[in-house]
Amino acid sequence: MFKRFRLSMAVNSLTDMSNGEFEREDFLKGCTGAFEEIMETFTGNSTEGLEYVMEARVLEAFQHCLDEYSKHGIVCSYESGAVKEADIVAINFHETKDGRNRVSVDVQFVNEQRITLRDETGRAVGPVGEWVVRPSVWRFSTTLPELRWMLSDMP
């Protein structure tokens, strides 16, 4: 109960610090759209266009993963169902080295996922993945008061 109270207070603070622009439901809808877009692009073995929704360090990590698969002749066959649930699980405020206010919001997504590694011909390498309902936490960050959210981590 205390955690919910703290989270509610943090949402109120975020709304105040963004000059009233932060709206929880709109934020979650945008994050869900970003999650689905990122997963669709990544499972298409690409990161093209994701620089608009990911910080450079995260984008480089996604690209490195694809490069490693490619180097070994493996394609990650990842299927993702629609997000069944998305909720804010943590909010952290901090000051940047140059004195600006920054906020990070952790969002937990719940959806069905199936991952199978395949060779270049499409044949499964190892077991074919089963559909599993899986929670994933992604961190979105921005500098206040602007609200240009970017995927900044996957804690």
Q: Return the biggest CA–CA distance within the chain.
A: 54
Q: What is the mean pLDDT of the chain?
A: 90
Question: What CATH number corresponds to the domain at position 100?
Answer: 3.10.450.240
Distant-in-sequence, close-in-space partners of 57: CB < 8 Å, separation ≥ 6: 152
Residues spanned by the domain of 40: 2-153
Sheet with 132-143, edge to edge strand ranges: 74-95, 101-119, 132-143, 150-153
Burial (CB < 10 A; 0-12, 13-18, 19+), residue 26, is: exposed
3 state DSSP class of 99:
coil
pLDDT tens profile 117-143: 888 888 888 888 888 998 999 999 999
Q: Is residue 48 over pLDDT 80?
A: yes
Q: Pull the structure tokens for residue 124.
A: 């499964």
The pTM assigned to this predicted structure is: 0.88
Q: Give the separation between CA 123 and CA 117, rounded to whole angstroms.
A: 8
Instruction: Please give the residue that has the higher pLDDT: either 152 or 76.
Output: 152
Q: How far is CA 148 from the centre of its chain?
A: 14
**Looking at the 3D structure of the chain, how many domains does it have?**
1
Q: Is residue 55 over pLDDT 70?
A: yes
Residue 11 one-letter amino acid: V
Q: Give the separation between CA 155 and CA 145, rounded to whole angstroms.
A: 24
Q: Is residue 3 over pLDDT 80?
A: no
Distant-in-sequence, close-in-space partners of 36: CB < 8 Å, separation ≥ 6: 80, 82, 83
Q: Is residue 14 over pLDDT 70?
A: yes
Instruction: Please give the residue that has the higher pLDDT: either 9 or 72.
Output: 72
